[in-house]
Structure 1
Amino acid sequence: MNQKKYLVLVAMLVIASMVLASCAPAATPVVEPPTPVAEQPTPVVEQPTAVEEQPTAVEEQKITLAIEHFSVIEGTTWSGAQDRAGKRIAEKYPNVTYVFRENVAPDQSVPFAEEMIADGANIVVGNAEFMGLPLVDIADTYPNVYFGSVIASDLTTKQNFIRFFPRQYQALYLEGLIAGALTQTGNIGIVSAFPNVQVIRRTAGFILGVQDAAALLNKEVTVHVKYAGDWYLPAEEQSIAETLVDTYKVDVLTQQTDSGSTLDVAVAKGVWFVGKDMDTVGEYGWSDTNTVAVSFDTRWEVIYEQMVLDFMAGNANPETVLFPGMESTMTLADGTVEPTVD
């Protein structure tokens, strides 16, 4: 328990960089007393003036943000976080409507997109690369629509086809510090989907954190990575997690997949779980802090807000690769400032 608290403190000290801003006091204006002027009554003839209220650009520009989710939303962290992002954008901007489709396969991406465009969608996003990339095929057909897709390994862009991914490896490094402090067996397990650039980047961030914790605490720790073959395969994920605990003596589990199966195994086996993409306890109420040591949160709304603001501004050449991290934030409708990841 002391080791856990110690490493949690280390992780918090790493992330808690303070930004101090100071401003010089403004000069006090000198106001000279006014010279008394005798008031002369002046006849005033009021001329009625017809003033037509002009709506602002934001009020005129109706935007529909359409997100195609590769999986179901309920019970998932990846699509769940992106669904929350769409809702938060619509809450903040009265002229923005959020619509979605879920469980979208690659061959459904374009038909669903065209259906939503016909209904008024002007920003269409695929929330995973394998089913978002087909949208590039219709980008030229709809030049006044922004399209977007998560980056996994491919970096294809067009003038109106935007690619994005948050710097989740920053938060995963901190989670690695905590996992390295928690393990007593010296074995940590990752239930992963399949190798691609972002999966490897995320895994590397986590392992670097584990290694630094191990060096600090003079421990030998091994990280075991097993692949399910896809993002959302609950049965396969469960089987891998059970094998990691039973065969590899893992006492800390984490995942690069999207179902809740790995957490279920952690609860059943009595081992620690390190989550991803959302605060699984605080946001979803999954399990409790007796099992879930930490679960970083991803605010996709930081990315979607930039796309929305560019569209509102009529930007025909938006930035086509977005890669924000902890330094980038969004102020929500209630005034809360949220970083991209933490």
Structure 2
Amino acid sequence: MVNDSKSLLSALSRRHFMQLSGATALALGGLGHRAFAAEPISTAAIYTVPVEQQWVSRIHVAAEAAQARGDITYTYSENTSNSDYERVMREYCEAGHKLIIGEVFAVEDAARAVAADYPDVAFLLGSSFKPKADLPNFAVFDNYIQDASYLSGIIAGAMTETKNIGMVGGYPIPEVNRLMHAFMAGAKEMQPDIEFQVAFIGSWFDPPKAKETAFAQIEAGADLLYAERFGVSDAAKEKGLLAVGNVIDTQSDYPETVVASALWHFEPTLDHAIAQLKAGSFKADDYGVFSFMKEKGCSLAPLGTFEGKVPEAALKLIAEKSAAIMDGSFTVEINDTEPKSS
């Protein structure tokens, strides 16, 4: 009975201490009361899809690189259902992890509730919403790779012969919509009268459905496909057509199919968060800018097997636009509205 009483008192004392610590953290406006300069930051990631999926794979690769150089320790959960996301977040927090990364597009309210309960933990999560001042330990990011998407569109516009491009996406949400719009704008730089077939499959990872949707677009006249999802390039390959990739470079798997890809580099986003934690100055912030080309957060993949096959006019325009993006004289429009077929 004495031991039970001591355990209860200990638990109550610990809860009281955490509440006081949380209040202090809120008063300080962030996690500035603790720095991690001399130790790897214990980091956990929660993914709703396999780590092979395009978007998540870029986070995974950056985290593994940070662990390899000793900045963090890294563990992760993949294929976590939305209904289970909050539980997994809490388990990682209770286990002592100090940085939680992942994507919470479908579980925003639950994720922010967890962050409020663990003010000494830093959260860096993919989100369609902005950070809030009353939740100083919750920073957001997104894949703002519209710069690279625009450049890949220029190549697509130069390579299509039917002037009909098929586009298959997961869901019409901002982080997909803005990339499609940028791609379309780039394509129209080469041929203003290009038409686009736009479709969404209602899934982040359903290659068979994406493939069938792409086949339908080919039947309707598309001779080039924008592969926002896995499965689209398979359809292009089977029909002997070209495809443009998104987020990762899959040309090694489709050497005669994938002519270009807009790449996302998560390293600048994660590295900035690590630096802020090490300095004791992590706070609620919008990390979206670290996906911009100027911050080395995105790039156009090397042409590889298509070297010498892309029209010179397109390459010249890409060089001009790239320089203008980097020096700030040209800005690719960020359009988050749902794209439509034209």
Structure 2 gaps of 5+ residues are 1-34, 301-342
Amino acid in structure 2 at the alignment position of 1:107: S
- Corresponding residue of 2:10: none
Deviation at 1:326, TM superposition (A): 0.9
Amino acid in structure 2 at the alignment position of 1:120: G
- Corresponding residue of 2:248: 278
1:191, 1:340 → 2: CA distance? 21
Structure number with greater Rg is 1
Pick aligned residue for 2:99 from 94, 119, 123: 123
1:62 to 2:34 alignment: no
* Equivalent residue runs for 1:145-160 within 5 Å: 145-152=121-128, 154-157=129-132, 158-160=135-137
SS of match in other structure, 2:293: coil
Pick aligned residue for 2:157 from 164, 174, 180: 180
* Equivalent residue runs for 1:234-249 within 5 Å: 234-246=207-219, 248-249=220-221
Identity of aligned residues (%): 24
* Residue deviations 1:275-331 (CA, integer Å, cap 9, x gap): 0111112xxx3121x2110112211121111111111111153534432211114xx
Pick aligned residue for 1:295 from 261, 266, 270: 261
Amino acid in structure 2 at the alignment position of 1:279: D
Aligned length: 263
- TM-score, length of structure 2 as denominator length: 0.72
- Corresponding residue of 2:187: 210
2:63, 2:283 → 1: CA distance? 23
In the alignment, is the contact (CA less than 8 A) between 2:157 and 2:186 conserved in 1?
yes
1:79 to 2:51 alignment: no
Aligned in 2, Cα 1:286/1:185: closer, same or farther, shift over 3 Å? same
* Residue deviations 1:105-138 (CA, integer Å, cap 9, x gap): 2222221122222333111122351246531111
* Residue deviations 1:188-240 (CA, integer Å, cap 9, x gap): 0100122222222111101100111104xxxx310110111122222221110
- Corresponding residue of 1:313: 279
Pick aligned residue for 1:327 from 275, 290, 294: 294
In the alignment, is the contact (CA less than 8 A) between 2:144 and 2:175 conserved in 1?
no
Aligned in 2, Cα 1:309/1:104: closer, same or farther, shift over 3 Å? same
Pick aligned residue for 2:80 from 104, 119, 136: 104
* Equivalent residue runs for 1:161-180 within 5 Å: 161-180=138-157
Aligned in 2, Cα 1:340/1:89: closer, same or farther, shift over 3 Å? farther
2:274, 2:37 → 1: CA distance? 13
In the alignment, is the contact (CA less than 8 A) between 1:58 and 1:95 conserved in 2?
no
Deviation at 1:156, TM superposition (A): 5.0
2:146, 2:274 → 1: CA distance? 25
In the alignment, is the contact (CA less than 8 A) between 2:227 and 2:246 conserved in 1?
yes
Q: If each structure's helix is expressed as a fraction of its own residues, which one has the higher value? A: 2
Pick aligned residue for 2:203 from 210, 223, 230: 230
Amino acid in structure 2 at the alignment position of 1:230: S
2:59, 2:179 → 1: CA distance? 18
Aligned in 2, Cα 1:198/1:269: closer, same or farther, shift over 3 Å? same
Deviation at 1:95, TM superposition (A): 4.0
Deviation at 1:341, TM superposition (A): 3.7
In the alignment, is the contact (CA less than 8 A) between 2:82 and 2:106 conserved in 1?
yes
In the alignment, is the contact (CA less than 8 A) between 1:160 and 1:320 conserved in 2?
no
SS of match in other structure, 2:263: coil
**Structure with larger RCO (C-alpha < 8 A, sep 6+):** 2
Structure 1 gaps of 5+ residues are 1-56, 330-338
- TM-score, length of structure 1 as denominator length: 0.72
Pick aligned residue for 2:167 from 172, 180, 190: 190
SS of match in other structure, 1:194: coil
- Corresponding residue of 1:136: 112
In the alignment, is the contact (CA less than 8 A) between 2:85 and 2:107 conserved in 1?
yes
Moved over 6 A (4+): none
Amino acid in structure 1 at the alignment position of 2:145: Q
2:223, 2:232 → 1: CA distance? 12
- Corresponding residue of 2:330: none
Amino acid in structure 1 at the alignment position of 2:73: T
- Corresponding residue of 1:41: none
In the alignment, is the contact (CA less than 8 A) between 2:42 and 2:99 conserved in 1?
yes
- Corresponding residue of 1:27: none
Deviation at 1:58, TM superposition (A): 5.3
